[in-house]
């Protein structure tokens, strides 16, 4: 929990500095192409853009420490309100992707581990390697061309139809972006699950259970898998943070109105407070997720206990 403070401060500092290297003047974009120099100066003064960078940074950090993420330059709304409005859509996409990645990765990894060095194992690991290496924007375009343009099974972009009669109306729009975002994580989880499961299957207690005639399926999914989950949970926790923060390209490709698309639009419009606030918010979420993963260790493995000894 204490680590959240330096992490947030480091992320805030890096984002603040990097955004200042992005070419373009937000005051000029906001005032319009026909604005006079007096109008530009007034706009810069109103948003504090005429102050030295050190002053701008200290002012923003002090407001951030008080829970004030600032006000969006172009949307004219509090940054935190805008981020929270879009975060719900990103959470839907990230949760669906994490469900696909975790379930699919564990199943694929376990199946590959039951036949180590076989043709099935090599094929699964090769596909997992491809899943890790393929860029998500390329995968997204391929899925759109195949399943939206050619087969017309799913809508290519957007989040929901103009008129919704049920919460389930969102599902056809969710399938392609969720799969696109989940594929790299699914491949990574499958590789970790496979390696951990192979190691567990050679333990003495597994040999003893087999010798006693325990059903192989029960042995695999009830006993061996539970002792495989510690490294898997670590990876899943890291991937959960990645899916929340790494949905930028996927949301842009599929025009999904989430936090990632908000950040892209903020970068294009040079909306410094909006981009800074959205990224710091995502970094804090990543810290919270890792904290929950640490606590979950003790739930999975009774040998792990936190506290004084």
The single residue listed with the structure tokens 């974009």 is: 29
170: number of Cβ within 10 Å: 16
Task: Note the pLDDT of residue 209.
Answer: 66
Q: Is the dihedral of CA 164, 169, 174, 176 positive or negative?
A: negative
Q: What is the DSSP string of 279-297?
A: HHHHHHHHHHHHHHHHHHH
Which residues, 6 or more positions from 155, have their beta carbon under 8 angstroms from its beta carbon? 148, 172, 173
Label residue 288 by pLDDT band (50, 70, 90).
confident
Is the pLDDT reported for residue 237 higher than 60? Answer: yes
Percentage of the chain with pLDDT > 70?
A: 79
Is the pLDDT reported for residue 33 higher than 70? Answer: no
Q: Which residue has the higher pLDDT, 81 or 37?
A: 81
* Cα–Cα distance for residue pair 74/25, rounded to 1 Å: 12
* Cα–Cα distance for residue pair 286/243, rounded to 1 Å: 10
Residue in 175, 180, 144 with CA at minimum distance from that of residue 160: 175
For 207, the token pair is 């040999």
Q: Is the dihedral of CA 176, 182, 187, 189 positive or negative?
A: negative
What is the rounded average pLDDT of the residues 176-191?
85
Label residue 198 by pLDDT band (50, 70, 90).
confident
* Cα–Cα distance for residue pair 91/30, rounded to 1 Å: 30
What is the rounded average pLDDT of the residues 282-303?
73
Is the pLDDT reported for residue 306 higher than 70? Answer: no
Domains of the chain as residue ranges with CATH: 79-300 (1.10.3720.10)
Task: Note the pLDDT of residue 158.
Answer: 75
* Cα–Cα distance for residue pair 306/286, rounded to 1 Å: 21
Average the pLDDT over each of 85-94, 100-109, 190-199, 300-309 and give the range with the smallest value: 300-309
Average the pLDDT over each of 4-13, 57-66, 197-206 and give the range with the smallest value: 197-206
Where does residue 18 fall: left (phi above 0), alpha (psi -120 to 50 degrees), or beta otherwise?
alpha
Is the pLDDT reported for residue 307 higher than 60? Answer: no
What is the rounded average pLDDT of the residues 78-82?
86
Task: Note the pLDDT of residue 114.
Answer: 77
């Amino acid at each position: 929990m204490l680590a959240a403070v330096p992490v947030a401060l480091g992320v805030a500092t890096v984002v603040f500095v990097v955004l200042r290297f992005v070419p373009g003047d937000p005051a000029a974009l906001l005032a319009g192409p026909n604005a006079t120099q007096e109008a530009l100066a007034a706009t810069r003064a109103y948003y504090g853009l005429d102050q030295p960078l050190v002053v701008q940074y200290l002012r923003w950090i002090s407001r951030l420490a008080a829970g004030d993420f600032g006000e969006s330059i172009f949307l004219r709304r509090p940054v935190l309100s805008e981020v929270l409005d879009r975060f719900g859509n990103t959470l839907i996409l990230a949760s669906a992707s994490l469900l696909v990645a975790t379930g699919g990765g564990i199943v694929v990894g376990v199946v590959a581990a039951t036949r180590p060095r076989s043709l099935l194992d090599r094929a699964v690991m090769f596909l997992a390697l491809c899943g890790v290496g393929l860029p998500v924007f390329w995968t997204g375009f391929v899925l759109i061309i195949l399943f939206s343009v050619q087969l017309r099974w799913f809508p290519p972009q957007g989040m929901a139809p103009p008129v919704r009669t049920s919460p389930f109306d969102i599902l056809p729009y969710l399938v392609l972006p969720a799969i696109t975002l989940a594929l790299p994580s699914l491949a990574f989880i499958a590789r970790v699950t496979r390696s951990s499961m192979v190691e567990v299957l050679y333990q003495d207690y597994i040999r003893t259970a087999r010798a006693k005639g325990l059903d192989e399926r029960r042995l695999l999914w009830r006993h061996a898998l539970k002792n495989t989950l510690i490294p898997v949970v670590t990876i899943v926790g890291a991937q959960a943070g990645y899916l929340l923060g790494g949905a930028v390209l996927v949301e842009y490709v599929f025009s999904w109105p989430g936090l990632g698309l908000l950040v892209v639009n903020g970068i294009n419009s040079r909306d410094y407070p909006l981009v800074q606030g959205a990224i710091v918010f995502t970094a804090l979420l990543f810290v919270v997720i890792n904290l929950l993963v640490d606590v979950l260790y003790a739930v999975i493995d009774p040998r792990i206990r936190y506290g004084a000894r």
